[in-house]
Amino acid sequence: MPGSLRYTSATGERITVLHDVTFSGTNTHSGATTISGTTTLSGATTVSGALTASGAVNLTGLAITDPGNVTKAIPVTKEGVCAMTSAGAETRTLAIPAHIGQSMVLVCDTYVGDIVVTVAAAVNVANNNTLTFGVVSDACELVGVSVGGALVWQIGWNDGVALSTV
């Protein structure tokens, strides 16, 4: 039934979206969720249980503001993409992740000089904790994991970012 929204209460805990829909504000759902069509999620959206999506799913609110060379600390309060801009040689810091599974992509969006990010703990088995973005489009993904019971970032993928140890 195109254009419809079906929700089953707490006894069945099921929601099915059969056409284009936008969820905004705070949305929480547990149980089976099926989405087809173009769906936009903005605001705080939590899905617990199986999520099946077909068609375009647009997630807004994933931009992490570049703190620049003055504030320096990249926020770790949410997951998303931090597009960094340099006006010359600059530094940033990155604290431990907020939770296991948190994902953050760091990318050099505008390059005038190197951006050096010092992470609170090692990001790989070589004990590297320093990421140097040396050209525009250098990028890497960091994922929150538990290592020896401690919450740390691990490199998910790396495209051009130089890794070193301070």
For the chain, domains (ranges, CATH) are 5-59 (no CATH), 68-164 (2.60.120.640)
- Separation CA 112–CA 98 (nearest Å): 31
Nearest to 145 by CA among 109, 102, 88, 116: 102
pLDDT for the residue 49: 64
Q: What is the DSSP letter of 41?
A: E
**Regions of the chain short of the pLDDT cut 70:** 1-61
pLDDT digits (tens, 9 = 90+) for 42-72: 656 666 666 666 666 665 668 899 999 988 9
pLDDT for the residue 2: 41
pLDDT for the residue 71: 86
Contact between 82 and 56 (Cβ < 8 Å): no
pTM: 0.68
pLDDT digits (tens, 9 = 90+) for 31-49: 666 666 666 666 566 666 6
